[in-house]
Structure 1
């Protein structure tokens, strides 16, 4: 309806939105089932379930939309379009969860609410005690992992070669490589010479021929305005090397007295956009982290807890991009989106855990008991949503034909699984460690509790 064409980036929308939509309903279903098992009537169980999850669910919708909208700072139109459409899809999925999800629970309460009893509300006390005893070791392991991965970031390279995203079996890619082998290169770029520098065209032609990546200068055209376009064929190379080539051509043109001459063409734009890709992604990630900090602060009402809740969501991205660099894999348009998109997604489970932890502390539970309570009420939904998200993002990994699509799926799955470990291991360890300095969250009035999403 909007007239957009399907491209390698927008092709990721369907599995992303389907997965996010399903995962978003998991906490509602689990809360509803728990209330039904406790003997509540259907309408009361649904109302209490929404009262329990409404506040963290609102925060998760906000952070997920923010993660996608942060892609709007990208200079690449396909990435901006993906972010806007994905954000709109998340908002629509949230509305459908409220309406259709609630209706489904009312119509099918027997099957949804059936199952074994929850058992003791503190059956996760043992893991909480283990984390209490080993919190320093847990923090040390995650710290070493993060620092090791971060040291690899200097090796990250960007490559947005559109031919490289095609599978090796692609007829176009095979024909392209065959022609490249026979001719030395098939891609071209131009050197646009201003009319006032026309007498320097011969020198500029030599500048092009002297470049190692230039196969030949194949054409010279003069426009009515007096500008001259020299067309050169270039050998296959990464976008990083091509960026160096075009910068060298611009510099050499200035050196022979034509500072107004510049490299132009599609391959020039692609190569130089790859550098902006890194800058844009860093900006998008910083914006997402800012929203994440505000969301965790809103959820916890304590700056220290907000910082503690943010750290586990940064670790997966640090590790994944570090692994990408260590394996020598370049950052592409699709994989560059992982940071901000995944930050907006994986923080959802952190918020559910953090809100339940704060509620338990307001109920005068110790830190360890509050962690056990949070794990009991949010642990299963966190695991299930992580598995649903992993399965959804595994679809492009398993069935995608484009290399960048498969890489996006692989990095997304790795990020989600690392975030699961961070939420259930690192986050409790950080809460236990921070508890040595932070005083217990003070009880609040009932009105204040309701304002923070407190259960009645």
Structure 2
């Protein structure tokens, strides 16, 4: 039996293992009971796909949206696009569209009003009076009448690029929404809306209409459904991949079944905990099962490897288990701790789904560690023959072992003979990749998370190609009460701002109450275009607004606050890059300052505003989580290794894969998004696992041998194989994300592959080279 008394806590873990083996049936029954309990909690899990989940409570974006919702209802909307190639614009179809608009207004919860060309307000003067009527006062009866109306619509300033495309081949139907109810009443109001729209469109009478459906509720729900389907498929695939790899590395059927049972139970326990505590899942945490399988499998692999090594020492099975647990128990506990720390670093990110994801995965890692130290001894305690007996073809065992040993021998030879060159090489790579990191951009536009060719992405692109009105940017301007609304100077400034917005090449449509005033003035002057302007007196402005409402105009409540203290400028745009969105926001804010002066109070809301804000907190979160994970894990390493120099030295191989991966991102032109942005802390938290096994084992061997090269050789050939195996499991296991339909998860699989490959090279080459150069444990003994 190996002497493991010099390993901290070895006695505790050995004693714990003996206790587990003694009471193995009780342990199995307890694990089974807990598993059944958590399975019963799975039906309590709820999904929250609302747009505000990305921000922590109290964030200014949520305050801005709350104010907008309180005054104007909701800055989200549902959207239907009718195209002449799929739905010919005939009298029959116009009649159906009118029926559909009424059905949607009556049958879709939270709808405030349905706007389309048929019921759009048309302001015209007739015989000295103003008429405000629906554009189609009655359904057209002939095709000629339809064609004439479509042509007339382009002459209406509020219709073009809003309700009808300039080429008359597309019409829109927009569902303005009321404020969503509290989550206690409806956790997923977006889903409620989408389901109601789908049910109405599925009615047989509307079958001839083939609209494209868009808007934030539809996109968010369909995207979440796609992610959940993807993750369900990938979860099964990762199980199969891990099973195949474990069979390849094979130490018998138990070496395959045990890690998979442990990781699968850890997933179910974690999901059950989420349901039990009333927490929610979202589109980001949908990847939780797949990620947990990959990051929590290493402990059982290392313990099985140690047991396999001990079984060759001529001890009984129970003695083997106790010795193996004593040998690697501390390292397993530390790797679980550092992995949990890596994910808990998400708590420094001001993005709510990341904070939740960090807690969920950390919880799963702890569960996996507890299951490993209980179930592995239990499963391996059965049987009379030592584990080293025939488990598979000896030829295959010898071939695999020889292959791994040759890799380790070559690594040892390189490091021992050229430690300085190896270290310089790794440092140069870090410097080079730092310049790549400087080129990395963050993109928070969720539309870019989908591959082109995905139906959801194609729908979004088609809506933008035809109309360019997929997202809004909303400005709420302080009007200083009713007097401000009537002030012609204020109204002229508002009109200048509206026209400046519409003149911006990034903007499709801009609208404000100033258009109503100009249309009313023109209508009251016999529709003379020369009078399409803001009057010069407050009395005239007040008169036009009064006549508008008394004539049946219904748009004021969507453009002016109830107390006339706020006016709204609504800007509609296509989805574009965050950089372009930021450019538009900054240009509009500059226009507000130049036109109204710096004293104007402005609140910015709308979907575009939120994804700009999200971009900023994602970038800050990536930096904060990386720093937090590095500091916390560094402290743990220095504490465990009981040497500041040795602990600091151990962090360099773990920072290396982060540099390489970030540099890879910048050099190949990929961007960080809401899925990949905080992976740096995860890489450190997971990559450090193998470093802990390497450094703790090296310290043990150096204490025993007193020579750096001999200690390195002993370390290579004791923990080298499981380090390679767990790295392969991480790289290939996460590679299943490359089969995702979601571009963000595809990139995550690619980045994890690069990162964990770089981490393996750093553990086998960079770390040993640094140890030989700096002698962090002091002088060698004779």
How far residue 338 of structure 1 moved from its aligned partner, in angstroms, is 1.3
The residue number in structure 2 matching 1:217 is 510
The 5 Å alignment of 1:116-127 reads 127=411
The 5 Å alignment of 1:296-315 reads 296-315=637-656
- Determine the C-alpha separation between the residues in 2 that align with 1:289 and 1:64: 12
What RMSD in Å do the two structures reach over aligned CA positions? 2.3
Residue 566 (structure 2) aligned to one of 209, 227, 247: 227
The residue number in structure 1 matching 2:301 is 26
Distance 1:271 1:110, change over 3 A: farther
SS in 1 for 2:669: coil
Work out whether residues 634 and 648 of structure 2, in 8 Å CA contact, stay in contact via their aligned partners in 1.
Answer: yes
- Determine the C-alpha separation between the residues in 2 that align with 1:106 and 1:176: 57
- Determine the C-alpha separation between the residues in 2 that align with 1:191 and 1:130: 63
SS in 2 for 1:164: helix
- Determine the C-alpha separation between the residues in 2 that align with 1:11 and 1:441: 51
Work out whether residues 343 and 685 of structure 2, in 8 Å CA contact, stay in contact via their aligned partners in 1.
Answer: yes
How far residue 259 of structure 1 moved from its aligned partner, in angstroms, is 3.2
The residue number in structure 1 matching 2:764 is 424
How far residue 285 of structure 1 moved from its aligned partner, in angstroms, is 0.7
- Determine the C-alpha separation between the residues in 1 that align with 2:346 and 2:641: 27
How far residue 211 of structure 1 moved from its aligned partner, in angstroms, is 3.1
How far residue 127 of structure 1 moved from its aligned partner, in angstroms, is 4.2
Work out whether residues 411 and 765 of structure 2, in 8 Å CA contact, stay in contact via their aligned partners in 1.
Answer: no
SS in 1 for 2:676: helix
Work out whether residues 294 and 734 of structure 2, in 8 Å CA contact, stay in contact via their aligned partners in 1.
Answer: yes
Residue 494 (structure 2) aligned to one of 196, 201, 212: 201
The residue number in structure 2 matching 1:242 is 581
How far residue 178 of structure 1 moved from its aligned partner, in angstroms, is 1.4
- Determine the C-alpha separation between the residues in 2 that align with 1:19 and 1:91: 14
- Determine the C-alpha separation between the residues in 2 that align with 1:417 and 1:108: 37
- Determine the C-alpha separation between the residues in 2 that align with 1:49 and 1:406: 38
How far residue 128 of structure 1 moved from its aligned partner, in angstroms, is 2.9
The 5 Å alignment of 1:358-369 reads 358-369=699-710
Distance 1:270 1:372, change over 3 A: same
Residue 144, structure 1, aligned to residue 428, structure 2: yes
The residue number in structure 1 matching 2:47 is 4
- Determine the C-alpha separation between the residues in 1 that align with 2:560 and 2:600: 18
Distance 1:148 1:126, change over 3 A: closer
Asked which structure has the greater CA Rg, the reply is 2
- Determine the C-alpha separation between the residues in 1 that align with 2:454 and 2:702: 58
SS in 1 for 2:601: coil
SS in 1 for 2:453: coil
The residue number in structure 1 matching 2:92 is none
Work out whether residues 371 and 428 of structure 1, in 8 Å CA contact, stay in contact via their aligned partners in 2.
Answer: yes
The residue number in structure 2 matching 1:98 is 373
The residue number in structure 2 matching 1:132 is 416
Residue 61, structure 1, aligned to residue 336, structure 2: yes
- Determine the C-alpha separation between the residues in 1 that align with 2:618 and 2:309: 46
SS in 2 for 1:212: coil
- Determine the C-alpha separation between the residues in 1 that align with 2:511 and 2:385: 75
- Determine the C-alpha separation between the residues in 1 that align with 2:459 and 2:414: 59
Distance 1:53 1:393, change over 3 A: same
Of 404-413 and 357-366, deviating more is: 357-366
- Determine the C-alpha separation between the residues in 1 that align with 2:765 and 2:700: 20
- Determine the C-alpha separation between the residues in 1 that align with 2:453 and 2:588: 35
The 5 Å alignment of 1:4-403 reads 4-5=47-48, 7-107=282-382, 110=385, 112-114=387-389, 127-196=411-480, 198=485, 199=490, 200-220=493-513, 221-225=559-563, 226-256=565-595, 257=597, 259-398=600-739, 400-403=740-743
- Determine the C-alpha separation between the residues in 2 that align with 1:108 and 1:162: 54
- Determine the C-alpha separation between the residues in 2 that align with 1:243 and 1:110: 68
Structure 1, residues 189-230: CA drift from partner, whole Å, max 9, x if none?
A: 111111326424223323423433112214541111321111
Distance 1:403 1:65, change over 3 A: same
Structure 1, residues 78-98: CA drift from partner, whole Å, max 9, x if none?
A: 222211111111111111111
How far residue 434 of structure 1 moved from its aligned partner, in angstroms, is 0.9
Distance 1:69 1:193, change over 3 A: same
Distance 1:389 1:127, change over 3 A: closer
TM-score by length of 2: 0.54
Work out whether residues 698 and 712 of structure 2, in 8 Å CA contact, stay in contact via their aligned partners in 1.
Answer: yes
- Determine the C-alpha separation between the residues in 2 that align with 1:224 and 1:41: 83
Distance 1:434 1:114, change over 3 A: farther
Number of equivalences: 439
Distance 1:308 1:111, change over 3 A: same
How far residue 235 of structure 1 moved from its aligned partner, in angstroms, is 3.4
SS in 2 for 1:352: helix
Work out whether residues 299 and 351 of structure 1, in 8 Å CA contact, stay in contact via their aligned partners in 2.
Answer: no
Distance 1:223 1:109, change over 3 A: farther
Distance 1:213 1:334, change over 3 A: same
- Determine the C-alpha separation between the residues in 2 that align with 1:73 and 1:241: 28
Structure number with higher helix proportion? 1
The residue number in structure 2 matching 1:409 is 749
Structure 1, residues 348-397: CA drift from partner, whole Å, max 9, x if none?
A: 00000000111111113310111111111110110011111112211111
Distance 1:114 1:422, change over 3 A: farther
Structure 1, residues 83-136: CA drift from partner, whole Å, max 9, x if none?
A: 1111111111111111112211212574844467999xx996674343121111
SS in 2 for 1:329: coil
SS in 2 for 1:369: helix
- Determine the C-alpha separation between the residues in 1 that align with 2:727 and 2:323: 24
- Determine the C-alpha separation between the residues in 2 that align with 1:126 and 1:171: 50
- Determine the C-alpha separation between the residues in 2 that align with 1:381 and 1:25: 10
